[in-house]
Structure 1
Amino acid sequence: MLYGGIEAGGTKFICAVADEQQNILAKVSIPTTTPQATFEAVFAFFDRYPIDALGIGSFGPIGIQPNHKNYGHILATPKEGWANTNFLGKLKQRYNVPTAWTTDVNAAAYGEIKKGAAKQKHSCIYLTIGTGIGGGVVINDAVFEGISHPEMGHLFVKRDPKDTYQGTCPYHKDCLEGLAAGPSLEARTGIRGEDLPLDHPIWDLQANYLAQALMSYTLILAPEVIVLGGGVMNQDHLLKKIQQQFTELMAGYVEIPNVEKYIVRWGLPNESGLIGTLLLAQKELEK
């Protein structure tokens, strides 16, 4: 058996083929340009392998209701040229195999609970903090979806009274993504995040907004573990600040595991989503 996986991001598509033991046999990175050019490159890669199932984790928002006409489509994305693209339809037309379809962050959450930092747990939240902020949820070993998929980066948080920054989110301005995603660091300070001094006060503000969000997720979903990934989380000191502020905000109201084991960094850096898609392909075939 061969499993195909696609981690489809707004910047690049990572495609891979794995065997039954989930060993990756081939992998390629494809720039996300126009849908036509991108899919042609995807087909050129997968046409070389007789895959038995396919897993797709796509940037969103996406249509996930099988009985709805927008199922399998990318919806109102700001990525130019991609709104209303029938992503799943194009792949199923080319490859008539069982196909799992979800968001890139849901796929990453599944990868982390099966092989990463949430391994041996039955529920987790995965939050990626980079150019944007997105979240995926696994409950009882299954990716969570309702009328839509989670859009956890667009939660509103309580603004710091001294924070006058309007926010980067094109839809909501000062939601979590608008106030705490990577671009907000440079927009406030004029310094790229990776070049900011460790003692810069922006890190405390960043940690506070993220801790507020994690508190809300905990009170609503009560996952066994929260996994943080993405480029911004390459800062060791930021994780400790988030853990500290989360503990202060919770104020002992809900009993949780040791915070250093409850809020953790990703166990599959830069590979959570791709590994998740391959595992979801395997699960889809087994169904």
Structure 2
Amino acid sequence: MNDLYGGIEAGGTKFVCAIASGPGQVVAEATFPTTTPDETIGQAIAFFRNHQAKYPIKGLGIATFGPVDLDPASPTWGYITTTPKPGWGQTPFATAVRNALGLPVGFDTDVNGAALSEARWGAGQGADPVVYFTIGTGIGGGALVNGRLLHGLLHPEMGHMGLKRDPNLDPFPGSCPY
């Protein structure tokens, strides 16, 4: 069997955990709702621990909602930082997984993870640059240029646009801190 790797797609609504050697070669998978950091990250760690005897993995990649800290020199690398998702701000996601499993961990945004997957195995194969947009719990984008994920000065999203609204018709102020 080829080397196995773990993956966590951490969305604002659900988490997907998988063990695979490549696309179409998934040997174990689980999906569960995104609740609290302790419960949800705990379920992800338990998934990999429960499968480690049968499917030992060499490392793990995390693609998560954010904003996140991607600076490897930062003391908060691997954190979900100032997210509007209640209870998830300043969550040391990558560190918790790395410490619990004792494995190398890659960490990036959910949209960069999707962009990387499309560039390597999907619709973006052979293309450069590759840009990926998503509309789900949030709206975001990720890009690869010269085969490398594009990161900005801060959280590497494509942008942020405020929308004018009529406070008389829609009094909800929103929940995005930006």
- Which TM-score tier does this pair reach, normalised by the shorter chain? 0.7 to 0.9
Pairing partner for 1:37 from 31, 36, 39: 39
Q: Closer, same or farther in 2 for the Cα pair 1:35/1:131, shift >3 Å?
A: closer
Amino acid at match of 1:18: A
**1:53 counterpart = 2:55:** no
Deviation digits for residues 89-110 of structure 1 (CA, Å, limit 9, x no counterpart) = 1011012222211000000011
Note if contact 1:133-1:153 (Cα within 8 Å) is conserved in structure 2.
no
Pairing partner for 1:143 from 138, 146, 149: 149
Aligned equivalents of 2:137, 2:22: Cα separation in 1: 34
User: Identity percentage over the alignment?
Assistant: 42
Aligned equivalents of 1:141, 1:22: Cα separation in 2: 22
Note if contact 1:10-1:32 (Cα within 8 Å) is conserved in structure 2.
yes
Instruction: Tell me the residue number matched to 2:94.
Output: 88
Aligned equivalents of 2:118, 2:79: Cα separation in 1: 25
Aligned equivalents of 1:40, 1:106: Cα separation in 2: 24
Aligned equivalents of 2:48, 2:103: Cα separation in 1: 12
Instruction: Tell me the residue number matched to 1:69.
Output: 75
Aligned equivalents of 2:118, 2:143: Cα separation in 1: 11
Aligned equivalents of 1:32, 1:128: Cα separation in 2: 18
Q: TM-score, normalised by structure 1?
A: 0.54
Aligned equivalents of 2:141, 2:58: Cα separation in 1: 29
**1:10 counterpart = 2:12:** yes
Q: Closer, same or farther in 2 for the Cα pair 1:168/1:5, shift >3 Å?
A: farther
User: Per-residue deviation at 1:21?
Assistant: 6.6
Note if contact 1:2-1:17 (Cα within 8 Å) is conserved in structure 2.
yes
Aligned equivalents of 1:127, 1:97: Cα separation in 2: 30
Deviates more, 1:18-27 or 1:135-144: 18-27
Aligned equivalents of 1:170, 1:91: Cα separation in 2: 28
**1:170 counterpart = 2:175:** yes
Note if contact 1:73-1:85 (Cα within 8 Å) is conserved in structure 2.
yes
Q: Please, what is the CA RMSD of the aligned residues? A: 2.4
Secondary structure of residue in 2 paired with 1:125: strand
Q: Closer, same or farther in 2 for the Cα pair 1:171/1:10, shift >3 Å?
A: closer
Deviation digits for residues 184-231 of structure 1 (CA, Å, limit 9, x no counterpart) = xxxxxxxxxxxxxxxxxxxxxxxxxxxxxxxxxxxxxxxxxxxxxxxx
Q: Closer, same or farther in 2 for the Cα pair 1:11/1:171, shift >3 Å?
A: closer
Note if contact 1:132-1:153 (Cα within 8 Å) is conserved in structure 2.
no
Deviates more, 1:82-91 or 1:107-116: 107-116
Q: Closer, same or farther in 2 for the Cα pair 1:21/1:104, shift >3 Å?
A: closer
Instruction: Tell me the residue number matched to 2:140.
Output: 134
Higher relative contact order, chain-length normalized (CA < 8 Å, sep 6+): 1
Q: Closer, same or farther in 2 for the Cα pair 1:152/1:168, shift >3 Å?
A: farther
Aligned equivalents of 1:91, 1:170: Cα separation in 2: 28
Note if contact 2:20-2:28 (Cα within 8 Å) is conserved in structure 1.
yes
Q: Closer, same or farther in 2 for the Cα pair 1:40/1:137, shift >3 Å?
A: same
Q: Which has the higher strand share?
A: 2
Note if contact 1:77-1:83 (Cα within 8 Å) is conserved in structure 2.
yes
User: Per-residue deviation at 1:168?
Assistant: 7.3
Structure 2 gap ranges (5+): none
Aligned equivalents of 2:114, 2:11: Cα separation in 1: 12
